[in-house]
Chains A and B, each alone.
Chain A
Amino acid sequence: MLLAKEPSTTDIPMPKSRMANICYHCGAPCITANIAIAEKLFCCEGCKLVFEILNERDLCDYYKLQTHPGLSQIKTIRNDKYTYLDNEAIAKKLYKFTDGNNTIVTFYIPGVHCSSCMWLLEHMNRLKPGIAESRLNFTTKEVTIHFAKDEISLRQLVELLATIGYEPYIDLDDSSQEQAKIFNKEKLYKLGIAGFCFGNIMMMSFPEYFSQHLGMEHQYAQLFRILNLLLSIPVFFYSASEFYISAWKGLKQKMLNIDAPIVLALIITYSRSIYEIATGTGSGYLDSMSGIVFFMLVGRVVQERTYRSISFHRDYKSYFPIAVSVLTTEGMESKNIQDLKEKDVVQLHNDEIIPADAIIISGRAKIDYSFVTGESEPVTVNTGEMLYAGGKQVGEQIIIEIIKPVAGSYLTSLWNHHAFTKNKAEENNENSAVHILSRYFTYILFTLAAITAIYWGIHDTARILPSVSAMLIVACPCALLLSSTYTNGNLLRIFSNNGLFLRDAPVIEQMGSIDHIVFDKTGTLTKGGGKMATAGHQLSEEEKEWLYNVVQSSQHPHSKELTKYLGYYESVPITGWREVAGQGIEAYASGNKIKVGSAAFIGLEEDQNENASLFVRINNKVSAYYLLPVLRDEIPQIIPQLNQDYTLSLLSGDNDRQKPLLRSLFGGKSDLIFEQKPIDKLRYIERLQYEGKKVLMIGDGLNDAGALQQSNVGITLADDINNFTPACDAILDAQKFQFLPSLLRLAKAQKKIVLMSFTISVLYNIIGLSIAMKGIMSPMIAAILMPVSTLSIVLITTGASSMLARHFGLSLKSL
C-alpha cells in the first residue's frame, strides 16, 4: 500500500546484536534499552505512553492487526497547543452538528496508514466516556466523531487523538472538499444513467439491424424506435449536460474547445434521429449517440481521479498556527491569527511559527528561517530586533510584539504577487493540445461541410440537409476526446503508482513540454538530518562511551544525530545529568565533567567555529561537531540523466558552502545560484519563461511556493506525501525521486500516444465510411463496429502508455 509508513531508519548504522531492538509501538530502532515495559521495548517515552493508555483500556488488539502500527511519538506535543479550541467561536467552525451537547466533528488525520489505525480510531468510545462513536473514512483519512460536549471538550478530544499518535490537522477554512464530493457523485449518476440507457437502446436496436434479413412487422419497428427515443432523453438532456456546460463556457470566453464540436454533433444527431423516427423514414442514430456519451463519460471519470487525501492548494495559512497566545492585562488569551493586531504581545513556544512581523521583547530567540529563506541554520536574534513572519523559534519560549498585521508581513506579501492570482489549472486546460487540434479539426470540417452544401445546392437542393448533417455526425471529434481522456487516465494511474501525484490531467501535457528544470537545494537535493563530522579533539573510545550515555536520553535532534553518529556503547553510570533547553546538556561520568551544546554553553567564544552545530567539552578538551547536509542517495544518478535532455538550474536559500560539490554534479552549463529569497526564485523562473523556456520547478518548502506557482509545472518533493506541502501542480514522494527522469519521459510520450490513437481512429472512420457509402455494409455490422472502434481506442491508448511505462522501468502495479 502506498501510504504505508516508511520507518526512515535504514541509514542508521546499528551493530548487529542490536538489530532486534525495535520499538514495539512504532517499529523505529531503539537507541536505548531503558524505556521498556516487561519484554516490550520502546524508542521513546511517547510511544510507551500510547502503549500504556491502550493497555489500560484493553485495546491491545491494535498491536495484533499489524506489527508496530504506531507512529513515532518522538516529537512531543506541547500541553497548551490546542488551548484555542476552548474558544467556542473557533470550535464552532469545526462542528458539523451540535445541539449544545451532542456534537459531531470530522478531522483529517494525516497519520492514518493501516488497519490498526482504523481499528483504534473506530474504538475511541472505549478510551474516554464522552465519545459515542467514531468512524473513519480510510480513503480520505477523515474520522467523524460523535461526542457529548458536556463530558469531553473538543480540546480534550483533539488532545486525546494527539496522545494516541493521531494528531489531526485542523484547518478552519477548508470548504472546498465538500463541494468536490457532491460534484463527484453527480458524475457517477450521469455515468450510471448513460450506461443503462445505452445498454437498452442497443438491445432495442438489434431487431432493426436484423430486419433486413428477417423482415419485421411495422408496428414493432415503430415501437422499438419510440422506446429508443424515450430512453435517449435522459442521455441527451442529463448525462451529456456537462459537455454543453463546458462548450458554452468556452464559447463565452471566445474559445472553441473540444466540447463545442462534440456538442454540435450531438445536437445534429439527436435532431436528425427525432426527424427520422417522427417521419418514419429511418431509425436514427440513437444507439451511436448514447454509446459515445457513455464512453466519453467513462473516460472523464477515469481521467479525473483525484487524490482526496492530498491537498494541492494549501497556501501560507496552512503553515501558520490557527491561534496564538496573546498576553493581555487580564492574562493569557487565545486569539485567532486573523484577529492579531499591531502592538499585540504574543508568547511563542519552541517550534512555533512567528505569525507576523514582530519585535522581540524578551527571551533568547533562535530563529529557523528555513521556511522563508531556505537557509537551514537558525540565527540568533537579540532583544529589540526584528523578527519576520514565517520564522520558527527553536528553544525556550519568547515574548514578541507584533508590529505589522499578518497580511502585511514580508512573507505573506509574496502571495500578493500576480503569480498567485492566475488560475493555472484553467490556463493549462485552455492551452491543451487536444483543444488546439480539435479547433483545426472543426475549421476543416466546416469548410468541407460548406463545400458539400454548395455542391448539392447546385445539383440537388433536397440533399443539402441530409448530406451536411451526415457529415457533421460522422466527423465528431469524439475519437480525439476519447484518446486523450483514456491516455491521461492511464498515465495518472501509472504516475501515482510510481509516487507522483498530479493535480489534474492537463499537468501531464505541461510536463511533456518542459525544457528547463530548476531545483531547490535544501530539502530537495539534500535530505533532512545529515552527516556528522568532527573537528578539534578526537575522542577516545572511553570518552565516546561517556558521551553516548550522556546524550542518548536527550530528545534534542542534535543529540539524536550525535547518538547515531557514535554508534552503540554499554551503559555507564552518569551523575548530575541536567539539560538546559535550547542550550545543552551537562553531566558527570566517572568523575569527568561532560558538557554538550552550543558554544556559549560550553564556554567558548561565539565566533570560534561558528559553523559547527554542536560542541562537546570533556574536562578541558573541546571537539566541534558539524551537521553537514547530505545529498539524497538518488541525486548523483538522476542529475546527469536529466542533464542530457534538459537545462538545469539550482536555486538555494543557503550560502554557497557546498558550491564545489554541486558544480561537479551539475557540470559547467547549469546556473547555480545561492542566497535566494523566495521572491528572487520567483523572478528567476519568470525570467526564464520570458526567454521562452518551459520551466519545471522542484522544491519542498514554503520558500519555494512563489517559484512553484510561477513555473509551468511546480513539483513539491515530500518525504511524507500527507505532510503540508505548498500549493503546486504535483507532489512527488521523495522515496521515488529516482523515477523522475522516467516519469518525465513518459509525460513527453503522452502527446504522441494521443495523436497515434487519433490517427488510427480517423483512418478507421474513413475506411468504414467509404465502405458504407458504397452501400456494401449492413446496418448490423456498422452498429457492431461503432463500439468496437471505441474499444480499440481504449485498448490502444492504455496499452501503449502501459508498455512505454514498463519500457522506462516504471512500475505498473499499485504499491
Chain B
Amino acid sequence: MSALYILIIVSVAVAATFLAAFIWSVRTNQFEDQKGASIRMLYDNEKVKEL
C-alpha cells in the first residue's frame, strides 16, 4: 500500500502544474484580450513582436 504515497504525491503534483500554468496565464495577461490573439495569428507576413 505504500505505492499510495507516491501516487498521491504524483497526482497532486500534476494538478499543481496545471494550477501553476493557469496562474501564469492570468499573470501574463492572456485573459486580457482573447479576441485579439485569434485575429493576430492569421497575419501571415512578418511576426508581431512580443511586448
Residues of A within 8 A of B (CB): 61, 115, 118-119, 122, 133, 135-140, 144, 181, 185, 188-189, 192-193, 196, 199-200, 203-204, 217, 220, 227
Contact A137 B33 (CB under 8 A): yes
Distance of A227 Cα from B7 Cα, bound (Å):
13
| A residues less than 8 Å from B26 (CB atoms) | 185, 188-189, 192
B39 contacts partner chain A, Cβ-Cβ < 8 Å: yes
Q: How far, in angstroms, from A133 to B48 measured CA to CA in the complex?
A: 9
In contact, A122 and B48 (Cβ under 8 angstroms): yes
Q: Are A189 and B23 in contact (CB under 8 A)?
A: yes
Are A135 and B4 in touch, CB under 8 angstroms?
no
A139 and B31 CA atoms in complex are apart in Å by 10
Contacts of A199 in B (CB 8 A): 15
Secondary structure at chain B's binding surface: helix, strand, loop or mixed?
helix
Nearest CB on B from A143, distance (A)? 11
Q: A residues within 8 A CB of B1?
A: 217, 220
CA–CA, A795 and B49, complex, Å = 43
B43 to chain A, nearest CB (A): 6
Q: What's the Cα separation between A220 and B18 when bound, in Å?
A: 26
Minimal beta-carbon separation of A788 from chain B (angstroms): 22
CB distance from A668 to the nearest CB of B (A): 49
Whether the Cβ atoms of A133 and B40 lie closer than 8 Å is no
**Nearest chain A CB to B12 CB, angstrom units:** 6
Question: Please, what's the 1-or-0 string for B1-36, where 1 marks a CB less than 8 Å from any CB in chain A?
Answer: 100100010011001101100110011000111111
Q: Which of B22, B31, B39, B49 contacts A115 (CB 8 A)?
A: B39
Which of A139, A193, A217 is B36 in contact with, Cβ under 8 Å? A139
Q: Is the CB of A140 within 8 A of B51?
A: no
Distance (whole angstroms) from the CB of A592 to the closest CB of chain B: 54
Question: Once the chains are docked, how many angstroms separate the CA of A468 from the CA of B1?
Answer: 39
Whether the Cβ atoms of B11 and A203 lie closer than 8 Å is: yes
Is there an interface contact between B40 and A61, defined as CB atoms closer than 8 Å?
no
Q: Could you say which residues of chain A place their CB within 8 Å of the CB of B23?
A: 189, 192
Q: How far in angstroms is the closest Cβ of chain B from A3?
A: 10
Name 26 interchain pairs, CB-CB below 8 A, sorted by A: A61-B45, A115-B39, A115-B42, A118-B40, A133-B51, A135-B48, A135-B51, A137-B32, A138-B36, A139-B35, A140-B33, A185-B27, A185-B31, A188-B26, A189-B23, A189-B26, A192-B22, A192-B26, A193-B19, A196-B16, A196-B19, A200-B12, A200-B15, A203-B11, A217-B1, A220-B4
Which A-chain residue is minimally distant from B26 (CB atoms)? A188
Quick one: given A122-B48, A144-B51, A193-B19, are A138 and B4 in contact (CB under 8 Å)?
A: no
The CA-CA distance from A192 to B31 in the complex, in Å, is 13
Chain A hits for B48, CB < 8 A = 122, 135
Please give me the residue from chain A that is nearest to B38 by CB atom: A138
Chain A residues within 8 Å of B16, by CB = 196
Known A122-B48, A144-B51, A185-B26; contact A138-B15, beta-carbon cutoff 8 A: no
Indicate whether A138 sits within 8 Å of B12 (C-beta atoms), given known contacts A122-B48, A188-B31, A220-B1: no
B33 neighbours in A (Cβ, 8 Å)? 137-140
Give CA–CA (A233, B2) in the complex, Å. 26
User: Which chain A positions have C-beta within 8 A of B31?
Assistant: 185, 188
Which residues of A have CB within 8 Å of B39? Answer: 115, 118, 138
Query: Known: A115-B42, A203-B11. Contact between A196 and B36, CB under 8 A?
Result: no
A221 to chain B, nearest CB (A): 12
Chain A residue with Cβ nearest B22: A192
**How many of chain B's residues touch chain A, expressed as a range?**
20 to 34
**Would you list the 5 A-B pairs with minimal beta carbon distance, nearest first?**
A138-B36, A196-B19, A137-B33, A192-B22, A138-B35
Provide the bound-state CA to CA distance between A37 and B23, in Å.
52
Q: Give chain A residues whose Cβ lies under 8 Å from the Cβ of B8.
A: 204, 227
Closest to B31 in A: A188
In contact, B15 and A122 (Cβ under 8 angstroms): no
Residues of B within 8 A of A196 (CB): 15-16, 18-19
A238 to chain B, nearest CB (A): 12
Given contacts A122-B40, A138-B35, 20 further A-B contacts (CB under 8 A): A115-B42, A118-B39, A133-B49, A135-B48, A137-B36, A139-B32, A139-B33, A144-B51, A181-B32, A185-B26, A185-B27, A185-B31, A188-B26, A189-B26, A192-B19, A200-B15, A204-B8, A217-B1, A220-B1, A220-B4
**Within the complex, what minimum Cβ distance (angstroms) separates B39 from chain A?**
4
Contact across chains for A139 and B34 when beta carbons are under 8 A apart: yes
Among the interface residues A140, A193, A200, which one has the most CB atoms of the partner chain B within 10 A?
A200
Residues of chain A contacted by B19 (CB below 8 angstroms): 192-193, 196
Complex Cα distance, B41 from A24, in Å, reads: 26
Q: Which B residues touch A204, using CB under 8 A?
A: 8
B5 to chain A, nearest CB (A): 8
Alpha-carbon distance between A698 and B43 when the two chains are bound, in angstroms = 42
Q: B11: nearest residue on chain A (CB-CB)?
A: A203
Complex alpha-carbon distance, A185 and B27, angstroms? 8
Nearest A residue to B39, CB-CB: A115
Which residue in chain A gives the minimum CB-CB distance to B4?
A220
- Closest A residue to B16 by CB, please name it: A196
A293 CB, min distance to chain B CBs, angstroms = 16
The residues of B that contact A200 with a CB separation of less than 8 Å are 11-12, 15
Please measure, in the bound complex, the distance between the C-alpha atom of A467 and the C-alpha atom of B33, giving whole angstroms: 50
- CB neighbours of A188 from chain B (8 A): 26, 31
Complex CA gap A13/B23 in Å reads 56
Q: Which residues of A contact B12 (CB under 8 A)?
A: 200
Give A200 to B51 CA distance when docked, in angstroms: 36
Q: Which residues in A have their C-beta under 8 angstroms from that of B32? A: 137, 139-140, 181
Contacts of B35 in A (CB 8 A): 138-139
Instruction: Tell me the minimal C-beta distance from B46 to chain A in angstroms.
Output: 9
Q: Give CA–CA (A118, B39) in the complex, Å.
A: 8
Whole-angstrom CA separation of A61 from B23 in the bound complex: 37
Closest to B34 in A: A139
Q: List, in ascending order, chain A residues with CB within 8 A of B45's CB.
A: 61
Shortest C-beta distance, A64 to chain B (Å), equals 11
Residues on B with C-beta less than 8 A from A203 are 11
Cα distance, A112 to B40, chains bound together (Å): 14
CB <8 Å contact, A119 and B43? yes
CA A400 to CA B30, docked complex, whole Å? 50
Q: Which residues of B contact A122 (CB under 8 A)?
A: 40, 43, 48
A136-B48 Cα distance, complex, nearest whole Å: 11
CB distance from A301 to the nearest CB of B (A): 11
B41 to chain A minimum Cβ distance, whole angstroms, is 11
Q: Which of B8, B12, B23, B39 has the most CB of A within 10 A?
A: B39
A664–B32 Cα distance when bound, in Å, is 50
Closest to A231 in B: B12
Least Cβ–Cβ distance between B19 and chain A, in angstroms: 4
| CA of A117 to CA of B22, assembled, Å | 30
Question: Bound state CA distance, A142 and B48, in angstroms?
Answer: 17
Distance of B22 from chain A, by nearest CB (Å): 4
Q: How far is the CA of A192 from the CA of B45 in the complex (A)?
A: 37
CA distance A217 to B5 in the complex (A): 14
Q: Report the Cα distance A140→B34, complex, angstroms.
A: 10
Q: How far is the CA of A217 from the CA of B2 in the complex (A)?
A: 12
In angstroms, Cα B8 to Cα A217, docked, is 16
Q: How far is the CA of A181 from the CA of B33 in the complex (A)?
A: 12
Residues of A within 8 A of B11 (CB): 200, 203
Residues of chain B within 8 A of A138, CB atoms compared: 33, 35-36, 39
